[in-house]
Chains A and B, each alone.
Chain A
């Protein structure tokens, strides 16, 4: 995969610190699955946590903490209830963390029309913001908007163009409030992307304000 757009350092630090909302952490894990460059960067942002753990002032433990734990070491290990990823046509199409979560092919998802040329699936994860899959038809552009918080987009297939550049499969757009943009699908293929935010978007044009209640991102 030829990836040319990656995360901001600050985003990977939040991922390592464990402070991203669930949907954004999912999106980061999906990109990491595809991107060796960012996997190496995460080794570095994790190391910040390791150094801080070394530096922390230790606290006293409950009485018998060590013995309690030693007694548990030989307990049979319960298999972690990890969802088994089902092999499907999309096995190579979706990154593993997302494939495990949705458990089906991309075309079998309950896509809902939310406006002209735009369909979505709300992944309904907990926490602030939203996590959605968007499927945008060729030639369609998402209304102009800015961001009150952070917005991460991972391209799963197809491509789009906006003020920042061209985004293809595997690329991420990592945007915050300073950026106003209007993505436009620029090939004859649907653009399918995963979008995670930690606050609502602000649509700027009239059309944007009209569709906001439907998109609700």
Chain B
């Protein structure tokens, strides 16, 4: 319950930032997200100075792209995660090709106040906490460390098929919480 409140509060804060362009709202978001984004970048294997730099770039994008945040589609955490992920991919690629993704659409202002995704993400969080160790491990190696499925298979000494089936099992548990109330 507490977690859900926190998540709603940050989504509301990001929505206000888009509307007001208020730097104190940005500073609040920075206080919560910047240390997490940097932690994520370090887990991806960046050295401290690079992680700091890429975190700054990601947080600058939060400021610049706030008007594209669509609360009915994702929570602030999810949206900022995707920005940080794309920045890290751009940085780590030798040839600097951008992460391939869909063009972002301007959100419909009527849908800005829907908060149902934070409920779902809250349940997802509970579900992640109860995953069997083997499933949680592949999930963390994939999302936190950015390892490909083949790399995970090699690291754990299990077949590629097992890595994928563990991820599928984990996701089917998380997915069960997705869209129920949406």
- Give the interface of A toward B (CB within 8 A): 8-10, 13-14, 16-22, 25-26, 28-30, 32-33, 39, 43-62, 65-66, 68-70, 72-73, 77, 80, 82, 96-97, 125-126, 128, 149-150, 176-178, 198-199
A51, B94: Cβ atoms under 8 Å?
no
Find B52's partner among A65, A80, A96 (CB 8 Å cutoff): A65
Find A62's partner among B36, B52, B149, B150 (CB 8 Å cutoff): B52
Please name the residue on chain A nearest to B32 by beta carbon. Answer: A58
Interface centre among A16, A77, A82 (most CB of B within 10 A): A16
Is the CB of B114 closer than 8 A to any CB of chain A? no
Please name the residue on chain B nearest to A174 by beta carbon. Answer: B164
On chain B, the residues within 8 Å of A56 by CB distance are 36, 39-40, 43, 144
B93, A22: Cβ atoms under 8 Å?
yes
Q: What's the nearest-Cβ distance from chain B to residue A28, in Å?
A: 7
Apart from the given pairs A55-B125, A66-B34, A125-B97, 6 other A-B contacts in the complex at a CB distance below 8 Å: A18-B86, A32-B102, A43-B74, A54-B121, A70-B27, A126-B95
A52, B39: Cβ atoms under 8 Å?
no
Interface size on B, residues (CB 8 A): 79
Whether A69 contacts B59 in the complex (CB less than 8 A), given A18-B146, A61-B35, comes out as: yes
A72, B60: Cβ atoms under 8 Å?
yes
On chain B, the residues within 8 Å of A48 by CB distance are 124, 128, 139, 143, 171, 174
A8 to B99, CA, bound (A): 20
On chain B, the residues within 8 Å of A9 by CB distance are 167-168, 171-172, 175
Is the CB of B64 closer than 8 A to any CB of chain A? yes
A59, B74: Cβ atoms under 8 Å?
no
Q: Could you list some 29 contacts between A and B, CB below 8 A?
A: A9-B168, A10-B164, A13-B167, A21-B148, A29-B100, A29-B101, A29-B102, A43-B74, A45-B171, A47-B121, A48-B128, A49-B81, A50-B78, A52-B143, A53-B77, A54-B3, A59-B35, A59-B42, A61-B35, A65-B52, A68-B56, A70-B23, A70-B26, A70-B27, A82-B98, A126-B93, A128-B150, A176-B161, A176-B164
